[in-house]
Amino acid sequence: MTGIETFLVEFLKLTFLSMVPFVLAGQGTMLGGRTGVFNVAQEGIMLTGASVGFLVGYTSGSVFVGSIAAMLVGGLFGLILAYFTTTLKMDQFVVGLALFFVGTGLSTLLPKLVLGITLTPPLIPTLKNIPVPLLSEIPVLGPILFNQNILVYISVLLSILLWYLLFKTNLGLRLRSVGENPKAADSLGISVNRYRYLTTIIGGMLIGLAGAYLPMVYTGTFTELMTKGRGWIVIALTFFGGWSPLIILLGSIFFAGIEVLSYRMQVGGSVIPFQFLNMLPYIGTIIIMIFTFGKSRVPAFLGQNYDRERRTL
Amino acid sequence: MTQIKKSLPYIIAVVGAFIAAGIFIAAIQYNPFEAYKTLITTSFRTPNGFIQTLMKWVPLTLTALAFTVPLSSGKYNIGAEGQFLAGAIGATTVGILLADLPPALLIPLVIIAGIITGALWGLISAWLLYQFNINEILSTVLLNFISFQLVDYVATGPWRDPSAGAPTTIAIGQNGYLPMLIKNPPLSIGVILMILVAIGIYFYTNKTTSGYELVATGANPRAAKVHGIDTRKMFLLSMVIGAAAAGLAGAMEVSGVQHRLIEGIHSNFATLGLIIGLISRGKNQAVPFVAFFIAVLEVGASAMQRTMMIPSQVVLIVEALIVIFILLSDLIKRRQK
């Protein structure tokens, strides 16, 4: 292979590796949004997921147990969000922001309580690559697509599954109707609240797992504010993806590509100061929003609570 | 009497938050009474503690106003952090480049530079909202991350102070330092400036036509539009005013406290500003009072960590609980109607 080829293989392999937090948190956000609950606490939930995933993974000695714990905590955040917005009908942005604070504070507090104040943080083993038999032998494509960690495969399968569920099944149709017109859904006997709780909790679990991916794959440990805005970028990603699972998957590859590019260019030694390369993911996101906002289809009741006793929608 | 009745739910909410957090503190094996004693009294025991509280009060009030003024028109500015840093960068740039000007010129120039760069940073989000209808929460947050990199770039560039450990610029010209109210412990006139701004904003939103239009837009954008108010312009205006307040906070932190740009100069002011704004329930006139209360807690929190080894993040839990309980008390009031 020539130099360019190895560079490209390496680049694409890293891109697929880095897309996972975007896919998981993006699908989680999409799920809640499809029934009308607009979660804006991703950054906080991901941080707590990273913190809990790391701590439980470390104390139990198993990354699997750590991931489950991160999902449970994420699900708890989802439950709280659903309770405050769906049952108590409080403003979704305000509750989301409050949960963002709680999550951010909790994520730095927990390691201090569990581990004490240490100079050298402990490490957990990072996820191993699992080569798919036969497929990983394919030249070029094999190492890029079929020699990755388990969550890369899971995030692709999850996206396809969610697409099928939302657009090809009766359940999906009912679920989407809650976000498009809860009053009509309600009158057909669909329980608006039950669907909102369900999607927000599952969404929270996926976002928590997305956070746990960071210590499990990138660093092996938890560092303060390690999500670096990925939670916010995910919100832009779901708009970019038109709240549709497969386009969110494609968008994740794209956003991950920008992230990897900004790192690769720094390692490669570029004339552009590294601070400006670090800005790339954020500037890229803003530019993408300019082209997609207002054009992409959004669930009609996104961010709005439904009160069946109110006369007008 | 009605005043007491009106404020009762808030008092209950605050007390409730302290009790809930107290249980948490006890659960992690510390004495909540000792902790709260340190938390509340540190600011008032020594002159030093009180001055420290006032110094925190200035940026906290301004970053909270950066959130509540746009909220008056119904928009969420989560970008006070970036606007604060843009203001600090602007103030530092002018303070270094024009270091030789006399104080009568340099001080106002440094402050105005901060206000303008802060406002411009906010204008980016405001314009994206105005022109492309881009959600302001997202654009303001993303600009925060960009501003961190910009600060790093300026503080490690040609102006870097090589003797400092963390990325830091050289000091601005001495003529650009804000005059001191008290020499030791140091307190600049920034606190007076902040109070004037807070009064000015109260006056603007509550006593002027334009301010009334702004509040009307927030209360019911559809009705405001029907009555001939250009609501999109109001969104833009409120975002820029808020950003200017954050920029001023950044400039005063440079000119009145640090005298240079330091990485991390924004501390946790903006996050606390959001919390203060939420506790004030978006009311601009309540912000300075709530900000003072939070400044007391913050000064107490660092004392608590020093003397009792309780992580200062515990206070963030108290503050988040206050926000949640106040939201809940609103709800109870709404049900009673």
Cis peptide before B185 (omega within 30 of 0): yes
Contact between residue B257 and residue B55 where contact means Cβ atoms under 8 Å apart: yes
Residue B50 lies in a domain: no
Residue A309 lies in a domain: no
Spatial separation of the C-alpha atoms in residues A3 and B22, rounded to whole Å: 61
Nearest CA among A30, A78, A22 for reference residue A238: A30
Confidence of residue A234 (pLDDT cuts 50, 70, 90): very high
Share of chain B above pLDDT 90, in %: 64
What is the distance of C-alpha B119 from the center of its chain? 14
Instruction: Give contacts of A102 with chain B, Cβ < 8 Å.
Output: 317, 320
Contact between residue B69 and residue B245 where contact means Cβ atoms under 8 Å apart: yes
Range of the domain at B117: 55-300
Q: Is the pLDDT of residue A262 over 80?
A: yes
Q: Is the pLDDT of residue B12 over 90?
A: no
Max mean pLDDT among A24-28, B156-160, B216-220, B281-285 falls in A24-28
Which of A179-188, B81-90, B180-189, B311-320 has the weakest average pLDDT? B311-320
Q: What is the pLDDT of residue A244?
A: 93
Residue A14 lies in a domain: yes
What is the distance of C-alpha A132 from the center of its chain? 25
Strand (E) positions, chain B? 180-182, 187-188
Max mean pLDDT among B186-195, B243-252, B313-322 falls in B243-252
Residue A11 lies in a domain: yes
Share of chain A above pLDDT 90, in %: 56
Contact between residue A313 and residue A183 where contact means Cβ atoms under 8 Å apart: yes
Say whether B138 and A95 touch across the interface (CB within 8 A): no
Spatial separation of the C-alpha atoms in residues A256 and A233, rounded to whole Å: 11
Domain count, chain B: 1
Say whether B142 and A232 touch across the interface (CB within 8 A): yes
Rounded to a whole number of angstroms, the distance between the first and last alpha carbons of chain B is 19
* DSSP string for B146-187: HHHHHHHHHHTSTTB-TTSSSSBBPPPPGGGSPPEEETTTTE
Residue A301 lies in a domain: no
Rounded to a whole number of angstroms, the distance between the first and last alpha carbons of chain A is 61
Provide the ipTM. Answer: 0.89
- Please give the average per-residue pLDDT across A155-184, as a whole number: 93
User: Chain A to chain B, count of Cβ pairs less than 8 Å apart?
Assistant: 101
Using CA coordinates, name the residue in chain A closest to B141: A232
Nearest CA among B147, B141, B111 for reference residue B128: B141
Say whether B145 and A94 touch across the interface (CB within 8 A): no
Q: What is the pLDDT of residue A1?
A: 57
**Which residues are CB-contacts of B25 (< 8 A; sequence separation ≥ 6)?**
B31, B32, B35, B310, B314
pLDDT in tens, B289-329: 999 999 999 999 989 888 888 888 788 878 888 888 888 88
Indicate the SS3 state at residue A121: coil
Q: What is the dihedral of CA A206, A210, A211, A213, to 10 degrees?
A: 130
Residue B2 lies in a domain: no
Say whether A276 and B141 touch across the interface (CB within 8 A): no
- Please give the average per-residue pLDDT across A210-215, as a whole number: 96
Residue B317 lies in a domain: no
Contact between residue A233 and residue A254 where contact means Cβ atoms under 8 Å apart: no
Range of the domain at A81: 3-292
A6: tokens are 């190895």
Domain count, chain A: 1
Which residue, among B135, B143, B310, would best test binding to A if mutated, counting the most A CBs under 10 Å from its CB?
B135
**What CATH code is carried by the domain that includes residue A271?**
1.10.3470
Q: Is the pLDDT of residue B138 over 70?
A: yes
State the nearest Cα–Cα gap between B178 and chain A, in angstroms.
31
A104: tokens are 């951010």
Q: Is the pLDDT of residue B271 over 90?
A: no
A139: tokens are 């030249």
* B111 or A143, which is more confident: B111
Q: What is the pLDDT of residue B9?
A: 80
Residue A306 lies in a domain: no
Spatial separation of the C-alpha atoms in residues A65 and A73, rounded to whole Å: 12
- Please give the average per-residue pLDDT across A78-85, as a whole number: 95
Using CA coordinates, name the residue in chain B closest to A234: B138
Spatial separation of the C-alpha atoms in residues A279 and B140, rounded to whole Å: 14
Residue B329 lies in a domain: no
State the nearest Cα–Cα gap between A108 and chain B, in angstroms.
8
Q: What is the pLDDT of residue A311?
A: 61
Taking phi first (over 0 means left), then psi (-120 to 50 degrees means alpha), and beta for anything else, what does residue A303 get? Answer: left
- Please give the average per-residue pLDDT across B211-237, as a whole number: 91
State the nearest Cα–Cα gap between A286 and chain B, in angstroms.
7
Q: What is the pLDDT of residue A186?
A: 87
Interface check for A293 against chain B (CB to CB < 8 A): the answer is: yes
Say whether A109 and B316 touch across the interface (CB within 8 A): yes
**What CATH code is carried by the domain that includes residue B135?**
1.10.3470
Which of A7-11, A253-257, A267-271, B162-166 has the weakest average pLDDT? A267-271
Residue A139 lies in a domain: yes
A84: tokens are 């405050």
Q: Which of A108, A279, A290 sits opposite B132 (nearest CB)?
A: A290
